[in-house]
Amino acid sequence: MTFISYCLSVSRGDKELEIALTANDAGHAQAQASDISRALRADTFSLTYKNINDTALSELFRRLAVSEFSHIECEPWEGKYSNGSPIIYALSTKYYVRPMILDYLEINKDGCVRPSCGNRYCINPYHNSYKKMKASKLGDADINLALAFSSRGVPVKEIAKALKVHRSTIYRTLNREHFHSRSPHH
The number of distinct structural domains making up the chain is: 2
Question: Residue 136: what pLDDT?
Answer: 60
Question: Residue 186: what pLDDT?
Answer: 43
Q: Please check whether residue 104 is in contact with residue 61, taking contact to mean a CB–CB distance below 8 angstroms.
A: yes
- Dist. CA 96–CA 152, nearest whole Å: 39
Q: Identify whether residues 24 and 68 lie together within a single domain.
A: yes
* pLDDT profile of the chain (186 residues), mean per 10: 89 96 91 95 94 93 89 93 93 93 80 82 86 61 78 85 83 74 49
Question: Residue 149: what pLDDT?
Answer: 79
Q: Quick one: how far is CA 121 from the chain centroid?
A: 13
Report the candidate in 18, 34, 12, 7 with the shortest Cα–Cα distance to residue 93.
Answer: 12
pTM above 0.85, yes or no: no
Q: Please check whether residue 18 is in contact with residue 8, taking contact to mean a CB–CB distance below 8 angstroms.
A: yes
Rounded to the nearest 10 degrees, the angle between the axes of helix 97-104 and helix 26-39 is 140
Q: Identify whether residues 120 and 175 lie together within a single domain.
A: no
Q: Identify whether residues 40 and 107 lie together within a single domain.
A: yes
Q: Identify whether residues 41 and 115 lie together within a single domain.
A: yes
Domain that holds residue 42: 4-131
